[in-house]
Amino acid sequence: MRRARGLIARSLRATRLLVEDRRIPRPLRWLAAIALLPIPGPFDEAVLLILAPILLAFHRTPMKEAWRAAERPEPPATAGWG
């Protein structure tokens, strides 16, 4: 169970990194952002099924980099003034 949770968290972090990556065209980044929304029903999964092969075929390097960068969770933001 812990392993599945880690894989889901890493996938979400990698997708967020791809949404912010300027090497990927804006319409594809918008589709990735839509896929991250908690939309009920199969709509977001359908968007991912359309988006994934395009990213895999044409933007493999940014995907690899995002996956590697998502391996380590971001440190929590510190509260305070400095």
Residue with structure tokens 């979400």?
12
Report DSSP state, residue 22.
Answer: T
Q: How is the chain split into domains, by residue range?
A: 2-69
- Report the distance separating Cα 24 and Cα 66, nearest Å: 12
Dihedral of CA 77/39/6/17: which sign? negative
User: Could you report the per-residue pLDDT of 21-69, keeping only the tens digit for each?
Assistant: 999 999 999 998 888 888 888 888 888 889 989 998 999 999 999 999 9
Neighbouring C-alpha atoms within 13 Å toward the C-beta of 81: 0
Q: What is the pTM of this model?
A: 0.71
